[in-house]
Amino acid sequence: MAVIQEDGYMKIVDRKKDMIIVSGFNVYPNEIEDVLVTHPSIVEAAAIGVPDDKTSEAVKVFVVTNDENLTVEEIIKFARENMTAYKVPKHVVFKDELPKTNVGKILRRELRDAE
């Protein structure tokens, strides 16, 4: 998936198969992950879509942190302050590590399959 920027250049934002649809809005996991990793206590993040009765899909994030005191509430508050409301994760799961390929790319498919 790509968007055309104001300067006329195209920017690849994510893969179609990874896109999350929340109440008809397209949510790209990379956008969510890019915002979350700017939090000083978040080392890595991965976002997936999970079924939701109200919005068809909801955002669920898996977070690796370097601060054992970081809370789900703090992550959601940070997300609300830094992204559009429909992109804010409804579910947050802390992990020791995220599944990755041999070259270090996060395997969202494995996270989705575990759901």
pLDDT tens-digit series, residues 93-107 = 999 999 998 988 888
Question: What pLDDT does 12 receive?
Answer: 66
The answer to whether residues 93 and 50 touch, using CB atoms and an 8 Å cutoff, is no
* pLDDT score of 115 more than 80: no
* pLDDT score of 13 more than 80: no
For the entire predicted model, the pTM comes to: 0.83
Question: Going from the N-terminus, what domains does the chain have, and what CATH number goes with each?
Answer: 18-114 (3.30.300.30)
**65-94 mean pLDDT:** 96
Question: What pLDDT does 85 receive?
Answer: 94
